Amino acid sequence: MTKKKQIIYRPDEQVFEIDGKKFKPKKVKTKKVEGVEHIDYEVWEEIDEKEYEKHLEIIKKAIIDKIPKERIVDEILKKYSTSALKTMAKQIKEKKAKVSRHDGCLGIKIDGGKHNSSYIEFFG
Protein backbone atom coordinates (compact mmCIF):
# COMPACT_ATOMS: atom_id res chain seq x y z
CA MET A 1 0.00 0.00 0.00
CA THR A 2 1.42 3.38 -0.96
CA LYS A 3 1.67 6.13 1.59
CA LYS A 4 -0.71 9.04 1.03
CA LYS A 5 0.92 12.36 0.22
CA GLN A 6 0.59 15.02 2.85
CA ILE A 7 0.07 18.65 1.87
CA ILE A 8 1.00 21.22 4.49
CA TYR A 9 -0.08 24.86 4.25
CA ARG A 10 2.23 27.30 6.00
CA PRO A 11 0.20 30.51 6.44
CA ASP A 12 3.14 32.50 7.84
CA GLU A 13 5.04 31.93 4.57
CA GLN A 14 1.93 31.66 2.36
CA VAL A 15 3.22 28.45 0.80
CA PHE A 16 2.13 24.85 0.42
CA GLU A 17 4.63 22.11 1.21
CA ILE A 18 4.41 18.75 -0.54
CA ASP A 19 7.03 16.05 0.11
CA GLY A 20 9.38 18.68 1.58
CA LYS A 21 9.12 20.96 -1.47
CA LYS A 22 7.53 24.38 -1.11
CA PHE A 23 5.15 25.93 -3.63
CA LYS A 24 4.04 29.55 -3.99
CA PRO A 25 1.23 31.08 -6.02
CA LYS A 26 2.32 32.12 -9.52
CA LYS A 27 -0.93 33.35 -11.04
CA VAL A 28 -4.67 33.31 -10.54
CA LYS A 29 -6.94 32.87 -13.53
CA THR A 30 -10.35 34.45 -13.14
CA LYS A 31 -13.50 34.42 -15.20
CA LYS A 32 -16.74 36.35 -15.11
CA VAL A 33 -19.93 34.47 -14.39
CA GLU A 34 -23.02 36.60 -14.90
CA GLY A 35 -20.90 39.74 -14.55
CA VAL A 36 -19.23 38.66 -11.28
CA GLU A 37 -15.51 37.88 -11.15
CA HIS A 38 -14.70 34.35 -9.86
CA ILE A 39 -11.45 32.46 -9.42
CA ASP A 40 -11.27 29.81 -12.14
CA TYR A 41 -7.96 28.27 -11.06
CA GLU A 42 -4.59 29.04 -9.47
CA VAL A 43 -1.15 28.11 -10.77
CA TRP A 44 1.48 27.34 -8.14
CA GLU A 45 5.21 26.90 -8.75
CA GLU A 46 7.97 25.24 -6.78
CA ILE A 47 10.22 27.58 -4.83
CA ASP A 48 13.93 27.41 -5.55
CA GLU A 49 15.18 27.46 -1.93
CA LYS A 50 18.71 28.63 -2.80
CA GLU A 51 17.42 31.51 -4.90
CA TYR A 52 14.88 32.38 -2.19
CA GLU A 53 17.60 32.51 0.49
CA LYS A 54 19.80 34.64 -1.79
CA HIS A 55 16.97 37.15 -2.26
CA LEU A 56 16.33 37.29 1.49
CA GLU A 57 20.01 38.01 2.19
CA ILE A 58 20.11 40.84 -0.36
CA ILE A 59 17.02 42.44 1.19
CA LYS A 60 18.19 41.94 4.79
CA LYS A 61 21.57 43.55 4.07
CA ALA A 62 19.87 46.53 2.45
CA ILE A 63 17.39 47.23 5.27
CA ILE A 64 18.90 45.83 8.49
CA ASP A 65 20.45 49.13 9.61
CA LYS A 66 17.75 51.44 8.26
CA ILE A 67 15.25 51.07 11.12
CA PRO A 68 16.42 51.22 14.74
CA LYS A 69 15.24 48.53 17.16
CA GLU A 70 13.44 51.10 19.28
CA ARG A 71 11.28 52.14 16.31
CA ILE A 72 10.36 48.53 15.54
CA VAL A 73 9.37 47.92 19.17
CA ASP A 74 7.33 51.17 19.21
CA GLU A 75 5.39 50.04 16.13
CA ILE A 76 4.75 46.58 17.59
CA LEU A 77 3.47 47.97 20.90
CA LYS A 78 1.07 50.38 19.15
CA LYS A 79 -1.31 47.52 18.38
CA TYR A 80 -1.93 46.80 22.09
CA SER A 81 -4.58 48.53 24.18
CA THR A 82 -3.60 50.78 27.05
CA SER A 83 -4.96 48.22 29.54
CA ALA A 84 -2.87 45.44 27.98
CA LEU A 85 0.25 47.63 28.11
CA LYS A 86 -0.53 48.51 31.75
CA THR A 87 -0.82 44.81 32.62
CA MET A 88 2.48 43.97 30.90
CA ALA A 89 4.30 46.87 32.59
CA LYS A 90 2.92 45.77 35.97
CA GLN A 91 4.07 42.18 35.37
CA ILE A 92 7.57 43.36 34.54
CA LYS A 93 7.91 46.01 37.26
CA GLU A 94 6.04 44.58 40.23
CA LYS A 95 6.10 40.85 39.65
CA LYS A 96 9.69 40.75 38.39
CA ALA A 97 8.46 38.68 35.45
CA LYS A 98 10.99 36.93 33.26
CA VAL A 99 11.07 38.36 29.73
CA SER A 100 12.25 35.99 27.00
CA ARG A 101 12.22 35.64 23.24
CA HIS A 102 9.75 33.18 21.75
CA ASP A 103 10.84 31.83 18.36
CA GLY A 104 7.69 29.94 17.31
CA CYS A 105 5.71 32.97 16.16
CA LEU A 106 8.48 35.47 16.94
CA GLY A 107 7.51 37.42 19.97
CA ILE A 108 8.36 38.20 23.56
CA LYS A 109 6.93 36.23 26.48
CA ILE A 110 6.48 37.96 29.81
CA ASP A 111 6.32 35.15 32.34
CA GLY A 112 4.91 36.36 35.62
CA GLY A 113 4.17 32.89 36.92
CA LYS A 114 0.95 30.90 37.02
CA HIS A 115 -1.99 32.77 35.45
CA ASN A 116 0.09 35.94 35.15
CA SER A 117 1.81 35.84 31.77
CA SER A 118 1.59 37.91 28.61
CA TYR A 119 2.81 37.51 25.06
CA ILE A 120 3.82 40.27 22.67
CA GLU A 121 3.40 39.02 19.12
CA PHE A 122 5.66 40.80 16.64
CA PHE A 123 3.75 39.93 13.51
CA GLY A 124 0.31 38.54 13.12
DSSP 31-100: EEETTEEEEEEEEEEE--HHHHHHHHHHHHHHHTTTS-HHHHHHHHHTTS-HHHHHHHHHHHHTS--EEE
Among the three residues 16, 38, 63, which one is the final residue of a domain in this structure? 63
The pLDDT of residue 110? 81
Quote the domain boundaries for residue 43: 7-63
26 and 51 part of one domain: yes
77 and 117 part of one domain: yes
Write out pLDDT tens, residues 45-67. Answer: 999 989 989 998 998 888 888 88
80 and 49 part of one domain: no
Q: Is 1 inside any structural domain?
A: no
Q: Is 2 inside any structural domain?
A: no
Q: Is 43 inside any structural domain?
A: yes
- What mean pLDDT is predicted for residues 8-14? 84
54 and 94 part of one domain: no
59 and 15 part of one domain: yes
Give the chain's domain count: 2
Residue 124 reports pLDDT greater than 70: no
Handedness of CA 99, 10, 78, 64 (dihedral sign): positive
11 and 58 part of one domain: yes
- Give me the chain's average pLDDT, please: 85
Write out pLDDT tens, residues 67-95. Answer: 888 988 898 888 889 998 998 888 888 77
